[in-house]
Structure 1
Amino acid sequence: MSGAKIILADVAKSFGDNVVLDGVSLEVESGESLAVIGQSGTGKSVLIKCVLGLFRPERGSILVDGDEVVGASEGKLARIRKKFGMLFQGGALFDSLPVWRNVTFGLTQGRFQNSARMRAIAEENLERVGLSRDVLYLRPSELSGGMQKRVALARAIAPRPEILFFDEPTTGLDPIRADVINDLIVSLVEEAGITAVTITHDMASARKVAHRVAMLYGGRIIWQGPRDRLYDSGNPYVDQFVQGNAEGPIQ
């Protein structure tokens, strides 16, 4: 790791009277894998959308490699966004397109371009996530949930991003298929040097993929620390959440 890749300072975002983020400060080191945990509806996805420049915070600063995202022009945002890849919670594949066109969609923006080259790129990235060329011409609906996740991951890494966001990457998968996805995230960070931010409420996933874990609650980061302190945090909110207890400070 060599310096901060992403720096959030006092970031606040509301929707009407609903305060979602209320002074979030967080840093992600280059080459680090960070997991952000918290209840559903606490603003984890909103946090990522602010970093991507899709939502503009009411206050605060977001730096990506030293470039300010908040208030940036569309041209500057486009340049910053080229550093990111995203694995969406539901996969978000286009069922009308074969797998190879889904994988290369971000490279072509959906336009037809040099089909042979794009198929080769798709095959290479599918191989990186453990899928063979046999799936190139299949539709997403013909794949299992775990295979769809891997195709979505192949699409996310095809442009060779520096930073990857994972939004609940193991949701809907059985424990074995979830662990396959976790292993892929770990290998991308370790072998490709990618900086990763994973939103999850799957504690097994957080412990496996993350170097460090941060918990979002009440619009703020209330705890952060190395993954091996997750079950020994000394924070009653974290303890209740990771142990799944009904009793505790979280109502």
Structure 2
Amino acid sequence: MSPDPRAPAPRAPGGTTPKIRIRGLKKAFGSNVVLDGVDLEIAPGESLVVIGGSGTGKSVLLKCILGLLTPEAGSIQVDGEETVGLSEREMDRVRRKFGMLFQSAALFDSLPVWENVAFGLIQAKEMKRAEARKLADRRLADVGLEPRVGELYPAELSGGMRKRVGLARAIATSPEIIFFDEPTTGLDPIMGHIIDKLIVKLTSKLGATGLSITHDMASARRISTRMAMLYKGRIVWNGPTAEIDRSGNPYVEQFIHGTDEGPIDIPLQDHFA
């Protein structure tokens, strides 16, 4: 008999409950099956990167964990608590553990930088504005930006500065889990490297658990302790980052080497239509 995916999360030998535990997760949009039985675990303090090509379901997986999408089947546990089926109010309570760096930074154009960074502190934690401003300045310093940047508006920032402001906002509430959505997309290689170093430094400083999704293998190698590859709605490989070059998995081999020959189905007609 197969185990019940909604059963309490098993404890590791050290007695530690997985920070995130996913079992049998399925999500479809009409006839398009995006997630087809995803199983995944993330230990406290771990940095897991889910790799895979565009359209493989990475963003959908993230949205399901965040409670923005409801799966058709399966289980998502955070610190051993089942989150699938929670009310919006209950899910908001769970989300207080989360920080998020969006792919495009997703800053509020009408707010100055410091208010973007302090948004969660003021709105969710009801912190006084003066206190929130001081903390926002500290978080900006954490990502290498001076306090004067806090007075600027997002439209006045470069792409790299916007990404750093987004990272400052992601860590502002000292979250237990930080999600990174394609953290280096749109950045030049040097700035991408800087952002990756900041991600590693700040998640370690906070003692946070990291979950990233990306198709950038250079970035994935820099920020992860473990990787999992998602293909056609399933995890086809999962292991320590140090072992990915000797995974022996044909899907992983094709992806990390960027070749057009292998088991990954590439509909070339779509690109030349």
TM range (shorter): over 0.9
Where 2:135 maps in the other structure, the secondary structure is helix
Cα distance in 1 for partners of 2:136, 2:190 equals 25
Of 180, 199, 217, 1:203 maps to 217
Cα distance in 1 for partners of 2:19, 2:129 equals 35
Cα distance in 2 for partners of 1:187, 1:138 equals 25
User: Within the alignment, does 1:216 sit opposite 2:230 as a pair?
Assistant: yes
Q: Which runs of 5+ in 1 are unaligned?
A: none
CA contact (8 A) 1:32 1:189 kept: no
Cα distance in 1 for partners of 2:213, 2:38 equals 15
CA contact (8 A) 2:35 2:234 kept: yes
Where 1:221 maps in the other structure, the secondary structure is strand
Deviations 1:97-139 (A, max 9, x none): 11011111122239x9743222211101111111111201001
Cα distance in 2 for partners of 1:76, 1:68 equals 11
Cα distance in 2 for partners of 1:49, 1:89 equals 13
Shift of 1:73: 1.8
Q: Which amino acid aligns with 1:183?
A: K
Deviations 1:41-77 (A, max 9, x none): 1110110111111111111111000111111122221
Shift of 1:190: 2.1
Q: Percent identity?
A: 60
Q: Which amino acid aligns with 2:191?
A: R
Larger Rg computed on CA atoms = 2
Of 121, 130, 134, 1:107 maps to 121
Alignment of 1:65-84 (within 5 A): 65-84=79-98
Shift of 1:141: 1.3
Cα distance in 2 for partners of 1:56, 1:136 equals 36
Cα distance in 2 for partners of 1:161, 1:52 equals 14
Cα distance in 2 for partners of 1:76, 1:141 equals 35
Where 1:116 maps in the other structure, the secondary structure is helix
Of 39, 46, 59, 2:73 maps to 59
Q: Which amino acid aligns with 1:91?
A: A
Q: Which amino acid aligns with 1:63?
A: Q
Match of 1:23 in 2: 37
* Cα RMSD, aligned residues only: 1.6
Q: Segments of 4+ in structure 1 off by > 6 A? A: none
> Which 10-residue stretch deviates more, 228-237 or 174-183?
228-237
CA contact (8 A) 2:121 2:127 kept: no
Match of 1:160 in 2: 174
Cα distance in 2 for partners of 1:142, 1:44 equals 31
Cα distance in 1 for partners of 2:105, 2:39 equals 29
| TM-score of the superposed pair, with normalisation by structure 1 | 0.96
Deviations 1:75-98 (A, max 9, x none): 221111100011000010111211
Q: Which runs of 5+ in 2 are unaligned?
A: 1-13, 267-273
Match of 1:173 in 2: 187
CA contact (8 A) 2:52 2:214 kept: yes
Q: Which amino acid aligns with 2:113?
A: V
Deviations 1:143-167 (A, max 9, x none): 1111100000111111111000000
